């Protein structure tokens, strides 16, 4: 009759219990992976952008997130800048929308 009962069911050994701390160790491990792969690089990029925005001054050539390239004519204290696209067009944008400060002479090279 023993051929009807499998060895796994007929086993008299109790099932092995895993440590309750193994789940905690896995959560901490995945938390560290999340921090070093996602959060830390994002914080570095935000810090670099913040220093870029604070360094904008009159005469800088900038590229906006909308794709406009121009020269900064005036920087206001309220967080806005005036960008001259050419001799006749001046645009007012928020300082946060500057994507990059270009080297001097870039506009003339375009």
| Closest by Cα among 42, 43, 49 to 95 | 49
Question: pLDDT tens, 51-106?
Answer: 999 999 999 999 999 999 999 999 999 999 999 999 999 999 999 999 999 998 88
Secondary structure of residue 102 in the 3-state scheme:
strand
Residue 99: inside a domain = yes
Question: pLDDT tens, 26-46?
Answer: 999 999 999 999 999 999 999
Domain match, 73 and 48 both: no
DSSP string for 54-82: HT--TT-EEEETTS-EEEEEEE-TTSEEE
Q: What is the pLDDT of residue 28?
A: 95
* Domain carrying residue 100: 57-109
Q: What is the pLDDT of residue 44?
A: 95
Domain match, 65 and 101 both: yes
Q: Quote the distance between the C-alpha of residue 23 and its chain's center.
A: 29
Look up tokens 């935000």; give the residue. Answer: 46
Domain match, 49 and 61 both: no
Q: Quote the distance between the C-alpha of residue 10 and its chain's center.
A: 56
Q: How many domains does the chain have?
A: 2
Residue 84: inside a domain = yes
Tokens linked to 83: 């960008």
Q: How far is CA 6 from CA 2, 13, 36, 86, in A?
A: 8, 14, 47, 85
Domain match, 41 and 73 both: no
């Amino acid at each position: 009759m023993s051929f009807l009962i499998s060895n796994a069911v007929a086993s008299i050994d109790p099932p092995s219990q895993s440590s309750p701390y193994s789940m905690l160790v896995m959560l901490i491990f995945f938390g560290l992976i999340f921090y070093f792969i996602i959060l830390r690089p994002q914080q570095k990029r935000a810090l670099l952008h913040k220093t870029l925005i604070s360094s904008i001054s009159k005469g800088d050539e900038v590229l906006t997130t909308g794709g406009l390239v121009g020269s900064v004519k005036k920087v206001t204290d309220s967080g806005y800048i005036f960008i001259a696209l050419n001799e006749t067009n001046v645009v007012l944008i928020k300082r946060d929308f500057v994507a990059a400060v270009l080297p001097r002479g870039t506009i003339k090279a375009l």
